[in-house]
């Protein structure tokens, strides 16, 4: 019983680390920039497919691919924000039309992936996908451990950037008062473009992690929409450390539920946990 | 503090507004407004609510585009035409505004608010001296550096807004309605603080204010704006204080 329980907690920790990678980008775009990018999972899946293609054609490690395409996803994110800004935000109609835009982006990306690759599950090959480390009765599958550790590295890098650099601090401020930023000689549109670029770049890496953890088909991303926004709110809007803690807590709650009550209970218990947290801390765990 | 690296180097830092008209849609807010602020002066722009003081400030910073007239600023001896420039570019020249209502970032800490003020490359070099200056001048800010700006009292927020503008290492400081929403004792302290900053940093100051008596305590000269045009120009504080036109126009007595 104890070993089952401990294993559930450990695998929840590992799963939570991965959830953090998927959610970090939304913590920036939704939490700091006020851009409700519900298409975020689509970019994660896109990252998975890029890792898959490069792995299948060139045999390159999927996570190395994820790192190499960071700049491409960064530029893609900047371009998408610019389109959304020019089309909606500048005209003050970003709340509903912007939402529809990102919803459309989600479906268009998914359908394009289905047209090109079909609905078969795709997977990658890497040395760490098979083996499992064992400490006594605790299992640490490397396909979970490697993404979890690298997620925490990604979290650390992003957190340092946001809290230590001028641009990072401006990203944290931009949705609170864009005009006040202009009065400090900072262009809020440029700041949001950079922030959104970073947000989409993290999705590329999260996508590489995803396809290491499990085989991927184009609609897998939908499973994450509810979860990532729940983690954002649970951790506290705009707080990166809160997002990490929220992701790990949700991972552990889901994992324990799956182990003892079956996987179909996991989302219910996960969201129940979110509601209970918000009842006591309406701004989330570390929300300001 | 006198060794502060950001103090104006004695160059010319002045502002000239020449015959501007401006409005919002079809509403005419300013009509043929001209004023000047010379190097090292503190000039008060006086007038009650809704007469166009804030619009003048917004025109200087490019937040409102005048339909006619010229605005030029001389920074360290170099003249710049401000009309047509973006707000960011104007601020980057060294013109800082303490806006009406303060416009702090409520969910950032005191220190994060201050540090954001040093974003422009010219200000980054002197961030440490400027930050030290803010904390020694406004000791409340030093005590509360990790507190969220939104959770502070109005007086503390006004100090933070002044401090944040100072972090820009400006040459010209514009202050829009520093007294709004403050208790009389805090208004007086805020006005004193503006005077102290001006002296320490050798700033050129234009202050829009409706609290006549407080404003002329530190002003060298002043203008009175009524219904969007300059109704009276006072050559000195005494001139403004002992003037029938002022009493009539502005104090209504």
Banded model confidence at residue A89, pLDDT cuts 50, 70, 90: confident
Helix residue ranges per DSSP H, A35-165: 40-58, 62-68, 70-87, 99-117, 142-164
* Nearest one of B30, B16, B46, B34 to B176, comparing CA atoms: B46
Residue bearing the bigger pLDDT, A288 or A174: A174
Integer Cα distance of A206 and B168 in angstroms = 38
Best probe of the A interface among B119, B148, B149, B165, by most A CBs < 10 A, is B119
> What mean pLDDT comes out for the span B177-187?
90
Cross-strand partners of A208: none
Residue A247 is predicted with a pLDDT of 96
Q: What percent of chain B has pLDDT over 70?
A: 94
Residue of A175, A183, A242 to mutate for B, most B C-beta atoms under 10 A: A183
- Measured CA to CA, the distance from residue B177 to residue B207 in angstroms comes to 7
Closest among B110, B183, B186 to B141, alpha carbons compared: B110
Alpha carbons B167 and A115: distance in angstroms, whole number: 54
Average pLDDT over residues B137-141: 92
When pLDDT is averaged across residues B114-134 and rounded to a whole number, the result is 94
Mean pLDDT score across all residues of chain B: 90
- What is the model's pLDDT at position B10? 62
- What's the gap in Å between the CA of B32 and the closest CA on chain A? 25
- β-bridge pairing B78-81 and B27-37: unpaired
Inform me whether the pLDDT recorded for B2 exceeds 80: no
pTM of the model: 0.92
Residue B77 in tokens: 């001896």
The token pair at A190 is 């440029």
Residue A272 reports pLDDT greater than 50: yes
B218-237 b/e (C-beta count within 10 Å ≥ 16 → b) = bbbbbbbbeebebbbebeeb
Q: What are the CA-CA distances from residue A13 to residues A56, A149, A254 (Å)?
A: 30, 11, 10
Mean pLDDT along residues B209-229: 91
Dist CA A263 CA A12 (whole Å): 13
SS (H, E, C) A217-243: CHHHHHHHHHHHHHHHHHHCCCCHHHH
Cα B174 to Cα B162: distance, rounded to the nearest angstrom: 10
**Which of B79, B70, B103 lies closest to B171 in space, CA to CA?**
B79
* pLDDT mean over B131-152: 94
Do A24 and A243 meet the contact criterion of CB atoms below 8 Å apart? Answer: yes
Task: Calculate what percentage of chain A has a pLDDT beyond 70.
Answer: 100
Q: Where are the domains of chain A?
A: 2-280
Q: CB–CB of B167/B134 below 8 Å? A: yes
pLDDT at residue B238, as a whole number: 81
A201-236 pLDDT, tens digit per residue, is 999 999 999 999 999 999 998 889 889 999 999 999
The CATH fold assigned to A2-280 is: ABC transporter involved in vitamin B12 uptake, BtuC (1.10.3470)
First to last CA, chain A: 39
Confidence tier at B7 by pLDDT (50, 70, 90): low
pLDDT tier at B88 (50, 70, 90 boundaries)?
very high
Q: Using DSSP, state whether B79 is helix, strand or coil.
A: strand
Q: What is the pLDDT of residue B92?
A: 97
Judging contacts by C-beta atoms under 8 Å, the chain B residues touching residue A170 are 116, 119
For residue B54, pLDDT beyond 90: yes
Rounded to whole angstroms, the Cα distance separating A243 from A20 reads 7
Residue B76 pLDDT class (50, 70, 90 cuts): very high
Contact criterion met (CB < 8 Å) for B168 and A169: no
| Cα A50 to chain centroid, rounded | 17
For residue A94, name the pLDDT band (cuts at 50, 70, 90): low
Contacts of B88 in chain A (CB under 8 A): 182, 185-187
Query: In this prediction, does ipTM exceed 0.85?
Result: yes
CB atoms within 10 A of CB A86: 11
Using beta carbons and an 8 Å cutoff, which residues of B are at the interface with A?
A: 61, 63, 86-89, 91-92, 96-97, 99, 103-108, 112, 115-120, 124, 148, 164, 168
Chain A contact set for B87 (CB, 8 A): 182-183
Residue A183: its chain B contacts at CB < 8 A? 61, 87, 91, 96-97, 99, 103
Per-residue pLDDT, averaged over B112-133, amounts to: 94
Cα dihedral A143/A147/A152/A154 (nearest 10): 160
In this structure, CATH architecture of domain B14-251: 3-Layer(aba) Sandwich (3.40)
| The pLDDT value given to residue A222 | 87
- Give the pLDDT of residue A195: 98
Residue ranges of the domains in chain B? 14-251
Minimal Cβ distance to B88: which of A169, A186, A238: A186
The answer to whether B96 contacts A183, with C-beta atoms less than 8 Å apart, is yes
User: Do A55 and A125 form a contact (C-beta atoms < 8 A)?
Assistant: yes
- Chain B nearest-CA distance from A185, in A, is 4
């Amino acid at each position: 019983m104890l070993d089952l329980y401990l294993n559930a907690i450990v695998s929840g920790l590992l799963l939570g680390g991965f959830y953090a990678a998927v959610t970090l980008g939304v913590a920036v775009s939704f939490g700091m920039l006020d851009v409700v990018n519900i298409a975020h999972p689509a970019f994660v899946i896109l990252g998975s497919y890029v890792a898959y293609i490069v792995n299948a054609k060139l045999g390159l490690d999927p996570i190395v691919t994820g790192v190499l395409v960071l700049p491409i996803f960064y530029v893609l994110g900047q371009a998408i924000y610019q389109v959304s800004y020019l089309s909606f935000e500048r005209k003050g109609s970003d709340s509903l039309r912007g939402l529809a835009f990102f919803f459309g982006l989600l479906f268009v990306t998914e359908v394009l992936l289905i047209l090109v690759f079909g609905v078969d599950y795709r997977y990658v090959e890497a040395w760490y996908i098979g083996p499992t480390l064992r400490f006594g009765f605790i299992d640490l599958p490397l396909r979970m451990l490697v993404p979890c550790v690298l997620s925490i590295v990604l979290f650390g890098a992003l957190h340092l950037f946001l809290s230590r650099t001028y641009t990072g601090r401006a990203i944290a401020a931009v949705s609170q008062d864009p005009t006040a930023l202009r009065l400090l000689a900072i262009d809020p549109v440029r700041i949001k473009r950079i922030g959104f670029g970073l947000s989409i770049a993290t999705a590329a890496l999260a996508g590489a992690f995803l396809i290491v953890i499990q085989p991927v088909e184009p609609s897998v991303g939908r499973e994450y929409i509810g979860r990532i926004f729940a983690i954002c709110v649970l951790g506290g809007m705009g707080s990166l450390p809160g997002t990490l803690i929220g992701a790990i807590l949700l991972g552990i709650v889901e994992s324990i539920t799956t182990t003892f009550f079956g996987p179909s209970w996991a989302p219910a218990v996960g969201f129940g946990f979110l509601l209970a947290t918000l009842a006591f801390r309406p701004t989330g765990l570390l929300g300001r | 503090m006198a060794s502060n690296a950001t103090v104006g180097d004695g160059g010319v830092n002045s502002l000239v507004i020449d015959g501007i008209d401006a409005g919002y849609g079809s509403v005419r807010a300013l009509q043929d407004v001209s004023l000047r602020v010379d190097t090292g002066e503190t000039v008060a722009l006086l007038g009650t609510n809704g007469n166009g003081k804030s619009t003048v400030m917004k025109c200087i910073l490019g937040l409102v585009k005048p339909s006619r007239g010229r605005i030029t600023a001389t920074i360290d001896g170099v003249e710049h035409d401000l009309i047509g420039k973006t707000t960011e570019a104007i601020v980057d020249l060294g013109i800082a505004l303490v806006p009406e209502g303060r416009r702090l970032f409520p969910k950032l800490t005191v220190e994060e608010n201050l540090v954001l003020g040093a974003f422009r490359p010219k200000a980054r070099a002197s961030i440490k001296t400027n930050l030290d200056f803010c904390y020694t001048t406004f000791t409340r800010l030093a005590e509360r550096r990790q507190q969220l700006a939104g959770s502070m009292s109005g007086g503390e927020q006004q100090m933070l807004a002044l401090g944040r503008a100072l972090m820009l290492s400006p040459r010209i400081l514009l202050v829009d309605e520093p007294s709004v929403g403050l208790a009389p004792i805090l208004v007086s302290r805020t006005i004193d603080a503006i005077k102290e900053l001006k002296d320490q940093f050798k700033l050129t100051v234009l202050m829009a204010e409706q609290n006549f008596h407080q404003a002329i305590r530190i002003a060298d000269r002043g203008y009175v704006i009524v219904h969007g045009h300059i109704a009276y120009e006072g050559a000195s504080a005494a001139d403004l204080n002992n003037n029938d036109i002022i009493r009539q126009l502005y104090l209504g007595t």
